[in-house]
Structure 1
Amino acid sequence: MKTLAQLSPQPLWQIFANICEIPHPSKHEQKISAWIQQWAKDLGLAIKEDEVGNLFIKKPATAGMEDRPGVILQAHMDMVPQKNADNDHDFLNDPIQAYVDGDWVTAKGTTLGADNGIGLASAMAVLASNDVAHGPLEVLITIDEEAGMSGAFGLKAGWLDGEILINTDSEQDGEIYMGCAGGVDASATFPLEMEAVPEGYHSFNLSISGLKGGHSGVDIHTGRANANKLLVRLLNLAVQKFDIQLTELNGGSLRNAIPREANASLVLPVAQVEAFKAFVDDHQQQIKSNLAIVEPDLSLLLISPETFEQMWTKACQQTILHALTASPNGVIRMSDDVPGVVETSINLGVVRMKGNKLVVLSLIRSLHDDGRNQVEEILSSVYGLAGVEVTFSGAYPGWKPSTDSKIMNTVRDVFIERFDYEPKIMVIHAGLECGLFKTEYPHLDMVSIGPTIKFPHSPDEKVDIASVGRYWELLVAVLAAIPAKTA
């Protein structure tokens, strides 16, 4: 079996293999940052770090190309830490176990980090190469893209000199991105009212697992099930038939990942146990039948754990289940301007008990601020009926397409010349950092390209090996083709 370092282009894959060895989940980029800084210094490259942790690396133009406009290659150093329930991987200490699987590279039971590790590796490979022709070059490596974009938010004016920015965070070969969705985090906190579990009640844990999950922007239109919504629907139906009272409810782990797993602890009278088991079995068969194509590995498990002493009051339970059932999730509207692209969506990403409170986190995305505002209003209304306030934070702007972008036209022309077909000019329903860069650097002419990465933000993440080769070929050719500045 081939190792990553044996794949082509070899310098890129070798660097990516090194990246996989270094833990770098969002909010914990210290190790990868230290490695990148030492790597750059060993090559004699100028590198600096800003106050939030972003890295800036400069390389002079190759001989004869000093008259080209400055180009910034941009990637983020963090990755989404997702793993299967039966995997004991420690993202803070363990390397990613990446391996070649036919035409793809994937990882054993965890996210791979090809998002955006391949882009990062490509930028570093350009820096390390003596054969890639380019004008004045900068590489911007941001932190925390996946969990709040604090690196992009913290980017200040005066650090970058280039006129063109090539973002490497796209995930589809044959597509050139010239715009992206903006977004905002939504948080609601329910107070939990508890009471003692009476005698004669039996305890259960009910869990949903085996779902595909995925990126809450790129995959939101695929029909993949949301574990939080599935479990809440089951519970909402169950409380209409049985004297169930919850003791705990948790699901999902990231607001930007479609939840793959959710679980609830509950109690009910012993006399209703057998009927409840039959109800769960019937419901499992129904949802498995309904989702057989999109979620073939769905599993619903009912077990009897330890005895619980406290349970939610029925009034508290009803408020929460009704609110979560009514909470919007999925595609809200498709774009009228860009056919086939989602305009507005929401992901009910996390439901988590914290002491005597239940915290619910969602991520709203939209190509337009008004679309985002509309979903904010819907969410506020739904939770307002439950007597709970929704707070919105971390709003980031979309990247408005520019049809007269010179770099977009250059990338398109080079693509056609190299591959003999027309690429798709696209807008992505995901939060690239480009919109935030425009705040401090409004002059930047930007484009985003990348290889084919499937199922990012999930343990099924994989990157197409051949597409990485084409992406590298395109990137190198584009750097060489950027025309000289005009007088």
Structure 2
Amino acid sequence: MTLATEINQLFPQPLWQWFEQICAIPHPSGHEQALSLHIQTWAKQRDLTVIVDQVGNLIIRKPATAGMQDRKIVALQAHLDMVPQKNADTVHDFVTDPIRPWIDGDWVKATGTTLGADNGIGMASALAILGSDEIKHGPLEVLLTVDEEAGMTGAFGLEGGMLEAEILINTDSEQEGEIYMGCAGGVDAEISLPLQWQTAKPADLAFTLSIAGLKGGHSGVNIHLGRANANKLLARFLAGHAAPLGLALSDFNGGSLRNAIPREAQCSFTLPPEQATALQLAVTQYQAILQAELSSAEPALSLTLTSAAVPANSLQAASQTTLINLLNSCPNGVIRMSDEIAGVTESSLNLGVIRTQADNLSIICMLRSLIDSGRQNIESQLQSLCDLAGAQLVLSGCYPGWKPDTSSAVMAIVNDTYESIYQRKPEIMVIHAGLECGLFKQHYPNLDMVSIGPTIRYPHGPDEMVNITTVGQYWTLLLAVLERIPAKSNH
């Protein structure tokens, strides 16, 4: 067997050929239309039924293959969008530039950006099945939702009566050998802290302090790995050194997405010239502390201090103190591990994005929990913190978790099929991330659902990669499951 040098030569070829097309058409959240139109055109050329709903979700129907017409209708589900994250030194416009995948051993990676294997591989598998004349299956629906990564707009907007399926296979899981039967719910939290400004002292020196080189990653599935949050590290430095050094902040900005662990953050400030040497020493000492604490989790962490132009304004002392205390005390990371499912995070918070604006500091967090009370507990903590700081808290985009159904028939089929193919039992799991399944249950309460996928590492970050061998295993499993879907019940 010759080694593939292009991804379209990998196994299974129909899937990888579709993934290559997906990478070539920009599709970050909110900009999925070009990819959707490409798929629609292709599907219509194959005489498949194509439906676009009011929010932009794409539904494609394909009749059963010969002899399979009596089977239950299955929906294969993926989302059209991808998370746009890149390294600071990578020149890339996600709205106009294609993703550039490459093969590294048994992995496919991207060049300085997220790859979009989340959920591009799942989407590619569904489209490859639609395009095949050889794969055996009953009646099929493919549901491709919009804006999953930025707010689950597609799943929220999917109306009852659009799907005919009795079974839904979600393709958005990220670990081969694990079958997901439940997921966390979540909510977005935006904190707005009023800011008061004063004229900066022209005789002071100005600097920018930057933290970079962190791994980042998915704010759900990677939250328990001990990775650092750039926003929190910068706040910690300011909490220890702003007052002793006489720093006067002029801005604080960090992170880029609510559901990605922040990899970079920076703040700008002025201070008296006589404190410049002490500042340099404090930064050097802090970098040594962080390297000692995070040598395994964040080996590439870097702290950089650069000179800057003196700004027109800096924060008033009381406003600055409140800002630093709010950021330093804001909860972040794992809040509680699950009692019921070993090794699974129950509740977490990601302090995702911080932006300094003219009259306020905006802080955007993502809360996740397997149980409503866990999410409500974190909401209460944030509200108390905001009350103390004189900040406003707005919660939005709350979506439900997907409660496990131990009697699921499709779960049993996938479990038995996996074991018969690979001679080992799969792990039945609940994921600490927001799959769309919980929202589908609102309009389709009787839909029998399961989630599977290949192994994807570091989704939502530029180190994202997908394991080639497991893509083949996922494909083999998916096709075998489709062949085993039972007949419709006669009633």
Instruction: Give the TM-score normalised by the residue count of structure 2.
Output: 0.98
Tell me the SS of whatever aligns to 1:230.
Answer: helix
**1:418 is matched with which residue?**
421
Q: 1:403 aligns with which of 399, 403, 406?
A: 406
Residue 37 of structure 2 corresponds to which residue in structure 1? Answer: 34
- 1:353 and 2:356 correspond: yes
Does residue 65 of structure 1 match 2:68?
Answer: yes
Determine which of 183, 188, 191 is the counterpart of 1:188: 191
State yes or no: 1:485 paired with 2:485.
Answer: no
Following the alignment from structure 1 to structure 2, what is the Cα–Cα distance between the partners of residues 420 and 351? 48
**Does the alignment pair 1:92 with 2:95?**
yes
Q: CA deviation at 1:30?
A: 1.2
Of 422, 432, 437 in structure 2, the residue corresponding to residue 434 of structure 1 is: 437
SS of equivalent residue, structure 1 residue 187: strand
Superimposed CA distance per residue, residues 199-221 of structure 1 (whole angstroms, 9 cap, x where no aligned partner): 32000000000000000000000
Supply the distance in 2 between the matched residues of 1:485 and 1:419 (Cα, whole angstroms).
28
Which of 147, 170, 191 aligns to 2:173? It is 170
CA distance in 1, matches of 2:228, 2:46: 47
Amino acid at match of 1:442: P
2:220 is aligned to 217
Deviations 1:420-455 (Å, cap 9, x if unpaired)? 000000000000000000001111000000000000
> Which among 271, 274, 280 is matched to residue 274 of structure 2?
271
User: How many residue pairs were aligned?
Assistant: 487
Gaps of 5+ in 1: none
CA distance in 2 between partners of 1:95 and 1:220 (Å):
29
Identity %: 57
The C-alpha deviation readout for 1:38-59, integer Å capped at 9, x for no partner, is 1111222110100100000000
- Give 3-state SS (helix, strand or coil) of 2:276's partner: helix
SS in structure 2 at match of 1:215: coil
Residue matched to 2:324: 321
After superposition, where does 1:46-195 map in structure 2 within 5 Å?
A: 46-195=49-198
What code does the residue aligned with 2:427 have? K
For residue 47 of structure 2, give the secondary structure of its aligned residue in structure 1: coil
Question: Aligned-residue CA RMSD in angstroms?
Answer: 0.8
Give distance in 2, aligned partners of 1:192 and 1:387. 10
**Over residues 164-214 of structure 1, what are the superposed CA-to-partner deviations in whole Å (9 max), with x where a residue is unaligned?**
000000000000000000000000111221111123200000000000000
Equivalent of residue 453 in structure 1, options 456, 461, 464: 456
Deviations 1:254-295 (A, max 9, x none): 000000000000000001001111111111111011101110
1:391 paired to 2:394: yes
Q: Counterpart of 2:388 in structure 1: which amino acid?
A: L
**Which among 182, 199, 204 is matched to residue 202 of structure 2?**
199
Deviations 1:98-122 (A, max 9, x none): 1111110000100000000000000
- Distance, in Å, in 2 between the alignment partners of 1:414 and 1:485 is 19
Deviations 1:210-233 (Å, cap 9, x if unpaired)? 000000000000000000000000
In structure 1, the residue matched to 2:382 is: 379
- The alignment status of 1:290 with 2:293, answered yes or no, reads yes
Give runs of ≥4 in structure 1 deviating > 2 Å. Answer: none
| Match of residue 365 from structure 2 | 362
State the shift of 1:485 in Å.
2.4
Measure, in 2, the Cα distance between the counterparts of 1:288 and 1:310: 33
Shift, 1:484, TM fit? 1.5
- The CA deviation at 1:129 is 0.6
Which blocks of at least 5 consecutive residues in structure 2 are unaligned?
none
* Aligned counterparts of 1:123 and 1:353: Cα–Cα separation in 2: 42
CA contact (8 A) 2:200 2:310 kept: no
Counterpart in 1 of 2:314? 311
- Tell me which residue corresponds to 1:335: 338
Measured in 1, the distance between the counterparts of 2:235 and 2:37 equals 43
State how far apart, in whole Å, the 1-side matches of 2:201 and 2:125 are: 61
Range 238-247 or range 164-173, more displaced: 238-247
Displacement of 1:354 in angstroms is 2.5
Residues 202 and 310 of structure 2 are in contact (CA less than 8 Å); yes or no, is this contact kept in structure 1? no
Q: Is the 8 A contact 2:174 2:454 kept in 1?
A: yes
Q: Distance in 1 between the 2:251 and 2:406 partners?
A: 51
Contact (CA 8 Å) 2:204, 2:310: kept in 1 or not? Answer: no
Distance 1:263 1:97 in 2: 28
